[in-house]
Each structure stands twice: as C-alpha cells, then as structure tokens.
Chain A
Amino acid sequence: MLETPNAARRVSAFADAVSPAGIRPLPGAARFALRLREADATGEAAGFRLDQPLNTFAAQGDRLSLRLGPNEWLLIGPEADADAIAAEIAAALGTRFHTLVDIGHRNVAIEVKGPHAADILNAGCPLDLFDARFPTGTATRTLLGKAEIVLMRLDDAPTYRVECWRSFATYVHDFLTEAAQEFDAGT
C-alpha cells in the first residue's frame, strides 16, 4: 500500500458504533476486485479459488474468494498481506488478461450472527435466506435497505458477513442495530 508523508490518519468507520449482541464490526482486511475472462477462470490463483460456481465462495486458510459474477471475484485476505497478495496474483495469472483493483479501504465488514441473524438481515434484504436457498458457502451482491452489500454465509450458526462501502458503514450498521432490537432477548 502506498505510504506518503501526508497520508491522512485512518479512523475506523465504526469508531463510535455501539453494537448489540450478534452484530460485530470486523477489523480491516485486504480486499481486491478481480476481473478475468470466464474461459481463463480455472483452478486457483495465490490461494484464491477461481472455478467455484457463481454466487458461492471458497476459503483456503485465511483467503476467501467470492464469485460475484461470471467474470468477477471479490478476494479477501489478512490486512497485512495486501501487497503480497497483489504480487502473488499477478504472478499466478501471468499473461492471462485481467484487472486487479485494491479495494481494501473502500469496503468495511460487519458480522451478523445468531439464531435471529437471518431475520435481522431480512429487515432490509429481499433475498430468501432460508437454509435451503441460502446455505453456508453462499456469497452474493444484493441490497440492504438502500445500500448495496455483499452478503456471505460463513457457517451454520448461522454467521453472515456483510461487506459494504465505507461510506455506507454507519447506515448499514445502524440499520442492522435497529433491526436487532426486535430480537434483543434472543441474540
């Protein structure tokens, strides 16, 4: 990541956030938007799977690869690995034509967990989050209220990870917090 003497001090988008049980802002992460021709999407690159079905994610260690479109992936890894990941992917893809954009600072993530997690998300997300329609392993771009989010289901707790733009962070966090009040005894 570019370091300059005049770099702005980075403040967490959730510095003032008070979260109810079950909703937790997640620490920073390295994130990349990868675009690659569908025909070139074979195997994996730098620990990120490329050939999983659309709207699912694959995890290898601490590296997550979310297939958001036929030729679009969201790659998430540990924040400290950002430079290494970029270099490894460039090396792995070699001459395969692709674009790789660092969006680590554009997005923030919020975890929503517990027996009412799906109900809380459904307060603003129109998707059917029933187990059979949105099982563990699903990842897709969708909406939460007025904000575009990327929603993934990590496990059967269930635990969901919500990714949204940093400028939507307060809106999305407060939206989820308000929805959770309905269930505050349960989560």
Chain B
Amino acid sequence: MLLIPCPYCGERPELEFRCGGEAHIARAADPSAVDDGAWSEFLFSRGNPKGLYAERWNHAHGCQRWFNAIRDTASDRFVESYKMGEKRPLPGGE
C-alpha cells in the first residue's frame, strides 16, 4: 500500500488520507474587487503537470490535520510533506 508521510504522524497508509486538491492557491483579499475571469480562474483552474505537484492532504483517519505534500504525478511518489503555512520546499513555491 502507498505510504503517505504525514508531517505529524510519519508514514501512514493512504487509506487514512483524503486529498484536497492543488495547494498554494491564494484567495483574493477582496473578492468583490476581482473580475469574473480572475475569479473563475481562482475557482476552477488547476495545474495538471506530469511531474511534481503540490497538493493539500488531510490525515482524516489519523491526526485529522491538513498539510501540504509534493507528489510526483507520474510515479505517485511523495517527495516531501510540510505543515500548513510553511513555505513550499521546492522551486515553484510561493
């Protein structure tokens, strides 16, 4: 079974986790000032790279914390995980 590294619990079986989609998508500070195009971009547009991808994950059946992880979408290998609020450890971050 695929083991996912929770930054709090260590490596745990994938069954215990839920994926929350792409990480580091910032919500506009003042949504009413954003035009429709930019707002739909924020709501619906997500990357779909072949390779490293930053995602939000929730250790739903463990410590129940949300965290971010870098996963290789081609090999499904988890490269690194880090707590919410921490800087993305690889190029392309914040």
Contacts and interface: CB of A to CB of B under 8 A. Distances in A.
Interface of A: 54-55, 68-70, 72, 126-127, 140-143, 148
Interface in B30-64: 61-64
Contacts of A55: 9, 63
A175 to B, nearest CB: 15
A126 B62 contact: no
Interface of chain A: mostly helix, strand, loop or mixed: strand
Interface string B1-34: 1000000110011011000000000000000000
A106 B15 CA distance: 24
Nearest to B12: A127
Interface of B: 1, 8-9, 12-13, 15-16, 61-65
Given A69-B8, A70-B8, A141 B64 contact: yes
B86 to A, nearest CB: 14
Contact of A140 (B1, B62, B65): B62
B15 A140 contact: no
B10 to A, nearest CB: 9
Contacts, number: 35
Contact of A142 (B1, B8, B62, B65): B62
A118 to B, nearest CB: 15
Contact of B61 (A54, A72, A143): A143
A70 B63 contact: yes
A149 B9 CA distance: 16
Contacts of A72: 63-64
13 contacts: A54-B8, A68-B63, A69-B63, A70-B8, A72-B64, A127-B12, A127-B13, A141-B62, A142-B16, A142-B61, A142-B62, A143-B15, A148-B61
Contacts of B12: 127
B9 A126 contact: no
Q: 10 tightest A-B contacts by CB?
A: A126-B13, A69-B63, A143-B61, A126-B15, A148-B61, A141-B62, A69-B64, A143-B15, A126-B1, A54-B8
Contacts of A70: 8, 63, 65
Contacts of A141: 61-64
